[in-house]
Amino acid sequence: MRTPLIAGNWKMFKTVAEAAAAVRQLGELVSGVTGVDVVVAPTFTAIHAAAQAASGTRIGIAGQNLYWEKEGAFTGEISGGMLKEAGAAWVIIGHSERRALFGETDLTVNRKIGAAFASALTPIVCIGETLDQRERHETFDVLDTQIRQGLEGLTGNDLVRLVIAYEPVWAIGTGRTASPAQAGEAHAHIRTRLRQWFGADAGDQCRILYGGSVKPENIAELIAQPDVDGGLVGGASLDPKGFAEIVRKARPA
């Protein structure tokens, strides 16, 4: 039985004060909602304050990225240990914006997963095809490559300690959500590969989130798909009330 997970990706939004206030409000709104894991990913500067605001609530805190070295002359980077110390327990890795704008590849994703494990952070590993790739019917090939290279060297035991987020790039921030059938088909494909490559048990246990224009109005039909275990939510996670509604609607029936 996979516990649903709703993760909010705040991207480059919210100051320290705004992030702490949003976490406090969200904490109250979801305090009675059981059976769903809830995570938010503030900017690096707000992680510590957000983690303090989250203490005593059921909200987990995630970084949006990390670097694989522990420390050193890597201007502008942050390590897994630093994220952990600041109060994060999770980290998003390989988001499509990082891949498209900041040169991340499946190879860097792979190194970052190792670094996250080394610091006892739970990676949320993002994969997904672009519109061009979908139109050329390459979606499954793209996903296969991202899984194979991104998760290279990992075992079944590792797989159950991470979360996959399937985020079709054409659905991110566009208001254009994948239909439940499209999401369901991609998730089923990912699950099949995870079972083949990491063992049936590990493949069955690994949570696969859907991301791309998730909102209160569509989460129920998405999560009703058998292999959709929750959502990675961007825009709709910024408002605590709307985000809490998504969390409530993700509860197991």
Query: Residues with catalytic annotation?
Result: 95, 167
Q: Which is nearer to ligand PGA, 170 or 198 (CB)?
A: 170
Sign of torsion, CA 174 247 146 181?
negative
Number of Cβ atoms within 10 Å of the Cβ of 70: 12
DSSP secondary structure letter of residue 177: P
Q: Which is nearer to ligand PGA, 90 or 198 (CB)?
A: 90
Least Å distance between CB 107 and ligand PGA? 21
By CB under 6 A, is residue 9 in contact with ligand PGA? yes
By CB under 6 A, is residue 235 in contact with ligand PGA? yes
By CB under 6 A, is residue 173 in contact with ligand PGA? yes
Least Å distance between CB 201 and ligand PGA? 28
Least Å distance between CB 97 and ligand PGA? 7
By CB under 6 A, is residue 230 in contact with ligand PGA? no
By CB under 6 A, is residue 225 in contact with ligand PGA? no
Member of 80, 203, 234, 240 binding ligand PGA (CB under 6 A): 234
Q: Extract the runs of DSSP E, i.e. beta strands, from the chain.
A: 5-9, 37-41, 59-63, 90-93, 122-127, 163-166, 207-211, 230-233
Q: Please check whether residue 20 is in contact with residue 46, taking contact to mean a CB–CB distance below 8 angstroms.
A: yes
Least Å distance between CB 173 and ligand PGA? 4
By CB under 6 A, is residue 233 in contact with ligand PGA? yes
For the record, the structure tokens of 57 come out as 């609530």
Member of 54, 190, 206, 232 binding ligand PGA (CB under 6 A): 232
What binding mask, one character per residue, do residues 195-224 give for ligand PGA by CB under 6 A, x or -? Answer: ----------------xxxx----------
The rounded distance, in Å, linking the Cα atoms of 193 and 202 is 11
Number of Cβ atoms within 10 Å of the Cβ of 64: 23
Least Å distance between CB 164 and ligand PGA? 13
- CB neighbours of 158 closer than 8 A, spacing ≥ 6? 113, 117, 151
Q: Which is nearer to ligand PGA, 133 or 213 (CB)?
A: 213
Number of Cβ atoms within 10 Å of the Cβ of 72: 9
By CB under 6 A, is residue 65 in contact with ligand PGA? no
Rounded to the nearest 10°, the torsion over CA 85, 40, 53, 251 is -130
Residues that bind ligand PGA (CB under 6 A): 9, 167, 172-173, 211-214, 232-236
